[in-house]
């Protein structure tokens, strides 16, 4: 994800094909669209080593995250954007040093035993002033041992601050609290990603962002945004709606059944959602 971000800063260079099990399963179809409608040609890179060797000229160095401290990876994404660095775990250091990249930051052991709020307070002190105030990434969604940071590449090209802080009111009283961070964003700026399913609820996240007049654009699983961001619309394409109502005209309902088709936010009706919108272990429920 970090290599994709640094490679795509100025142009669309690296595109990922995600598995069919991904929440957005259409990446192969979009790839074909770019080929047929925009005359793109692609070279398949089948290993991380090959990808790094091909695109290393766009990276200024690397940052090491601590595999024993999950939050260190989220902080590493902030560093990746600011420093144009790729992120590696300890076992991948030989690969990046073979490619000639220099070490910019090493988080191994730095945050051991610390709470997330303390880690983000440190990150706020060291990086916040340099981060975008037009975009910020809430790298939440899955929690615990799972992370699906597909939006991270776009956050990197925009040099955003990455976090997954709790948005519950009880957790908003520290220096690096969501209230302080969001309050320092520009009005109507974009909050990308999603809240952490392990820390708060959707209503807490949306309420807090709305309070600060910010726009939420989900989700953490949205793929290839750093690539598609650079692609213009197809020549001749115009955005338009197919309305069949005349503006200003009065309509009287007839005695019949009217059916309204509503499109959800891209995931359709997802099984396993609890009434507040978070994932639930109970199958068959949807909002």
Q: Which residue has the higher pLDDT, 190 or 264?
A: 190
Q: Is residue 220 part of a domain?
A: yes
Q: Is residue 35 part of a domain?
A: yes
Using left for φ > 0, alpha for ψ between -120 and 50, and beta otherwise, residue 2 falls in alpha
Q: Is residue 240 part of a domain?
A: no
Lookup: tokens for 138: 């809430």
What are the pLDDT digits (tens) for 152-193? Answer: 999 999 999 999 999 987 766 555 688 899 999 999 999 999
Q: How many domains does the chain have?
A: 1
Q: Is residue 156 part of a domain?
A: yes
Q: Is residue 264 part of a domain?
A: no
Q: Is residue 133 part of a domain?
A: yes
Helix (H) or strand (E) holding 104: strand 103-106
Please tell me the distance from the alpha carbon of residue 76 to that of residue 65, in angstroms, as a whole number. Answer: 6
pLDDT band at 275 (very low <50, low <70, confident <90, very high): very low
Please tell me the distance from the alpha carbon of residue 195 to that of residue 218, in angstroms, as a whole number. Answer: 9
* pTM (predicted TM-score): 0.84
Please tell me the distance from the alpha carbon of residue 1 to that of residue 14, in angstroms, as a whole number. Answer: 10
User: Which range marks the domain in which residue 60 is found?
Assistant: 2-228
Q: Is residue 221 part of a domain?
A: yes
Q: Is residue 193 part of a domain?
A: yes
What are the pLDDT digits (tens) for 70-128? Answer: 999 999 999 999 999 999 999 999 999 999 999 999 999 999 999 999 999 999 999 99
């Amino acid at each position: 994800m970090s290599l994709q971000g640094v490679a795509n800063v100025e142009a669309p260079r690296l595109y990922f094909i995600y598995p069919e099990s991904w929440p957005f399963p259409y990446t192969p179809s979009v790839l074909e669209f770019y080929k047929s409608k925009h005359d793109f040609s692609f070279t398949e890179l089948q290993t991380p080593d090959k990808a790094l060797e091909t695109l290393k000229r766009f990276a200024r160095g690397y940052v090491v995250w601590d595999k024993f401290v999950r939050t260190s990876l989220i902080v590493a994404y902030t560093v990746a954007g600011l420093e144009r660095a790729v992120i590696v775990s300890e076992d991948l250091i030989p690969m990046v040093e073979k490619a000639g990249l220099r070490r910019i930051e090493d988080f191994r052991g730095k945050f051991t035993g610390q709470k997330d709020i303390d880690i983000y307070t440190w990150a706020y002190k060291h990086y916040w002033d340099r981060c975008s105030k037009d975009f910020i990434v809430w790298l939440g969604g899955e929690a615990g041992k799972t992370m699906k940071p597909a939006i991270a590449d776009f956050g990197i090209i925009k040099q955003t601050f990455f976090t997954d802080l709790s948005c519950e009111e009880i957790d908003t009283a520290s220096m690096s609290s969501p209230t302080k961070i969001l309050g320092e964003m520009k009005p109507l700026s974009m909050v990308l990603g999603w809240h952490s399913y392990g820390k708060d609820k959707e209503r807490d996240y949306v309420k807090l962002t709305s309070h600060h007049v910010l726009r939420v654009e989900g989700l953490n699983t949205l793929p290839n945004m750093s690539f598609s961001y650079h692609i213009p619309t197809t020549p001749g394409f115009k955005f338009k709606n197919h309305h069949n109502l005349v503006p200003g005209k009065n309509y009287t309902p007839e005695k019949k059944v009217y059916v309204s088709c509503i499109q959800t936010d891209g995931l359709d009706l997802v099984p396993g959602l609890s009434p507040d919108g978070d994932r639930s272990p109970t199958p068959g429920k949807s909002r």
